[in-house]
Amino acid sequence: MNGKKIYLTKKGLEDLQKEHDEMVAKRRPEVVERLSAARDMGDLSENAEYTAAREELAFIDGRIEELEGLLKQVELISDGNHKTYAVDLGSSVVVKIGEKKETFTVVGEWEADPSEKKISHESPLGKALLGKAVGDEIEVEAPAGKMLYKIVSIS
């Protein structure tokens, strides 16, 4: 990891911790057991189960290491405790695009999920929204061209 802060909501932190705990307590021991059983089958050079279990164990160990690195760099985004006069991490923002209204929540990059309208603070729209107030208009370059957003409310 590069020492960069990882911004997460309380729910995002809980999800990462849950994944880490499941990897360490459940998935890794299961794969170690599979690896041991496959090793007992004999010739390892022609043992596909042994190779597959070894590769899966390497993946799990890598993911555990990645999660531990992330968890050390987490900075919690306060839920409902942020300012409502300007957009910041954790803000829900209602914007008007033409005649249509959309609600986005600005989150850290690890929690971003466009299908749930959770946008990263490092995305073009997220960057443009940060620090802006109700009534501000922002222009964002999108694949379809420039989009004009007007901030209707912040919560």
pLDDT of amino acid 104: 95
pLDDT of amino acid 81: 56
User: Cα–Cα distances in Å, from 66 out to 3, 21, 63, 71, 121?
Assistant: 13, 13, 5, 9, 21
Inter-helix orientation angle 10-22/48-72, to 10°:
150
- List CB contacts of 23: < 8 A, sequence separation 6 or more: 60, 63, 64, 67
pLDDT of amino acid 82: 58
pTM, two decimals, is 0.72
| pLDDT tens by residue, 27-64 | 999 999 999 988 887 766 677 888 899 999 999 999 99
Is residue 83 within 8 A of residue 47, CB to CB? The reply is no
Please list the pLDDT of the chain residue by residue as tens digits (155 residues): 566 888 888 888 999 999 999 999 999 999 999 999 888 877 666 778 888 999 999 999 999 999 999 999 998 887 655 566 889 888 999 999 989 999 999 999 889 998 999 999 999 999 999 999 999 999 998 888 899 999 999 98
Is residue 105 within 8 A of residue 119, CB to CB? The reply is yes
User: Where on the phi/psi map is residue 56: left (φ > 0), alpha (ψ -120 to 50), or beta?
Assistant: alpha
Residue ranges and CATH numbers for the domains of the chain are: 6-76 (1.10.287.180), 92-154 (3.10.50.30)
pLDDT of amino acid 27: 96
